[in-house]
Amino acid sequence: MSQAAQLLDRLQRVRPTGRGSWLARCPAHDDKTPSLSIRETNDGTVLINCFAGCGAGDVLDALGLQWNALFPPNPAARSHRSPCYSRIPARDLLEIVSQDVSIVAVVAADMLAGKPVSERDWNELSRAAARIGRARDYIR
């Protein structure tokens, strides 16, 4: 089951708005009419946006999900190897970094829209930035 399908199963009043995109009630606030936009990108990443102003982290919290629920499974990303013992091929590293860049983009979009950034989002943003900063150490 795709990441989008798993997310859509937890939402109410889901309706398609196009290929790979849906609108649903936002679980992070008392949503009378659907205001949560869901879009699945070509690589399987899921983008979410609440037009009422809820942050992505708030939506995930309300659904009981973590940030990784928005990204397709990637065995290379689950690797916790030390850079001094092993190197990650550049292609795999780019996949890992692209997920972190997506986290940065989601939080930045929330900030630009004037949405409050929760402590959880800041922590996730911090971890993503640190992983991006360390990425160059893993390139062979």
DSSP the chain: --HHHHHHTT-SS-EEEETTEEEE--TTTT-SS--EEEEE-TTS-EEEEETTS--HHHHHHHHT--GGGGS---GGGG----TTT--B-HHHHHHHHHHHHHHHHHHHHHHHTTPPPPHHHHHHHHHHHHHHHHGGGGB-
77 versus 33: which is more confidently predicted? Answer: 33
| C-alpha to C-alpha distance for 84 and 102, rounded to whole angstroms | 27
**pTM > 0.85:** no
pLDDT at 98: 82
Dihedrals φ, ψ of 18, to 5°? 165, -175
Lowest model confidence (mean pLDDT) among 4-18, 27-41, 89-103: 89-103
Q: What percent of the chain has pLDDT over 90?
A: 26
Q: Cβ(111)–Cβ(117) under 8 Å?
A: yes
Domain range list for the chain: 3-138
> What percentage of the chain reaches a pLDDT higher than 70?
80
Tokens of 87: 């190197």
Output the pLDDT for position 61: 93
Return the pLDDT at 11. 93
- Please tell me the least confidently modeled range out of 13-17, 50-54, 110-114, 124-128: 124-128
Q: Are 38 and 48 in contact (CB under 8 A)?
A: yes
In tens, the pLDDT along 33-76 reads 899 999 998 888 899 999 998 989 999 999 999 988 998 876 45
Question: What is the DSSP secondary structure assignment for residue 115, as one 8-state letter?
Answer: P
pLDDT band at 140 (very low <50, low <70, confident <90, very high): very low
Average pLDDT score over residue span 104-110: 86
Q: CB of 138 within 8 A of CB of 83? A: yes
Single-letter code of the amino acid located at 29: H
